[in-house]
Amino acid sequence: CYGGTAALLNAFNWVESSAWDGRYAIVVAVDIATYARGPARPTCGAGAVAVLIGRNAPLALVDPRERATHASNVYDFFKPDHSVEYPVVDGALSQACYYRALEDCYDKFCDRVDRLNGATLEEVGGGDGSKDNEHFHAEAADYFVFHAPYNKLVQKSYGRMHLMDARRKHARELLRKDSEEKKDDNDKSTAPQDSDIGGSALAEEYLTKPIGETYSDKALEGALKSISKSSYAQRLTDANAASKIVGNTYTASVFLGLASLVNRAGGRGELTPGKTAVVFSYGSGAMATMYRLHVRDPTLTANNNGR
C-alpha cells in the first residue's frame, strides 16, 4: 500500500535535484484489494491512479521538510501463500499498527512544522499558553487525505489526531509549570485537569494514559468522534467520497482520495491558492508518511524552472 508513495517521494526528489533534465515523472499506483469471506470482504475494491510530477505544479510540496515518516517491522498483513489471492490479516493488530503509524507521523510532523514556523514553547507559548493555537493541530490544514482501508477507520483516526493535540498541549502545560520558578508550592503541585479541544474537554486520564491502552477504549472513541465530527465533515468528506463508492484500493487509496478532493473541492472552485492539504499514506508491514501539499497559481519562468 505504500509503494505509490515511495515512488512519489522519489519523483519529488528527482524533479527538485540538479539531475533533473526537464522531463515529467509519472507515478502509477494500481492495485486490487480482495479478501476471503468475512467482515473485511465488503471493503474490497480496485483502482488505478496516475500522477504527473513536475516543477511549477498547482499542488506542490513546497518545503520537503514538511514531511515525517514511520517504519516498523510487523506481520499484521501479508501473503504467505502465493497460490491464493487472499492475504492473512490480523484485523485488531492491523488497526493498532495504523494508529501507531499515524500518531508517530503526526507527532513528528507537528514538531517539524512548529520548528519551521518558530512555534517553540519559549517563542510562542509566552509562558501562559495564550498562543497555543499557533502550534500545528488537527484543524490547521484546510483538507486531509488519508489512506482509507475503510472510511470508519479514517474517521476514528482523525479523531485520534485531536487526542494527540490534547496530549501535546498537556505536555506543554506541564513544561510551563516546571519552568515557573516563582509559583507557590500549591500552584507547582497542581497539574492541568483536562485539555480543551474542539470545544470539549478530555479527562486527564486520557492525556497521561499509555497511548496503546487507548486504542480499544470505546468511551474515548465516542468522545473523539463527537469532538472531531464537524471538522471531519469539513476537511475529509471530499477526499473520502471516492473510496466510499470504490472501496479499498491498497496502494492507489491515498491517490484516489487526492483525486476525489481535487474533483469535488476543485470542481466547486474551493481549491484556491494558499490552501493546504495534509496527506497521510500508510502501508502494512509497516511504512507511513505524512506530508503537506500547498495549492498555488503556477508561474512559469523563462527557463521553466519554477518550483
- What are the tens digits of pLDDT across the range 77-105? 888 888 988 888 888 999 999 999 999 99
Split at pLDDT 50, 70, 90, the class of 134 is: confident
Angle among Cα 91, 36, 214 to the nearest 5 degrees reads: 10
Q: What average pLDDT does this structure show over 191-214?
A: 72
Window from 53-67, 185-199, 293-307 with minimum mean pLDDT = 185-199
- Gap between the Cα atoms of 177 and 128, Å rounded: 9
Q: What is the pLDDT of residue 124?
A: 46
Could you tell me the CA-to-CA distances from 211 to 21, 170, 200, 205, 228 in Å, in that order?
46, 14, 20, 11, 19
Split at pLDDT 50, 70, 90, the class of 132 is: low
- What are the tens digits of pLDDT across the range 5-45? 999 999 999 999 999 999 999 999 999 999 888 888 999 99
**Percentage of the chain lying above the pLDDT 70 cut:** 86
Angle between helix axes 237-246 and 151-179 (nearest 10 degrees) is 150
pLDDT of 128 strictly over 80: no
pLDDT of 146 strictly over 50: yes
Q: Is the whole model's pTM more than 0.95, yes or no?
A: no
- Gap between the Cα atoms of 221 and 232, Å rounded: 14
- Gap between the Cα atoms of 290 and 146, Å rounded: 9
Window from 96-100, 202-206, 261-265, 277-281 with minimum mean pLDDT = 202-206
Q: What is the pLDDT of residue 204?
A: 83
Q: What is the pLDDT of residue 129?
A: 53
Q: What is the pLDDT of residue 298?
A: 79
Strand partners, 201: 196
Per the CB < 8 A criterion, the answer to whether 33 and 243 are in contact is no
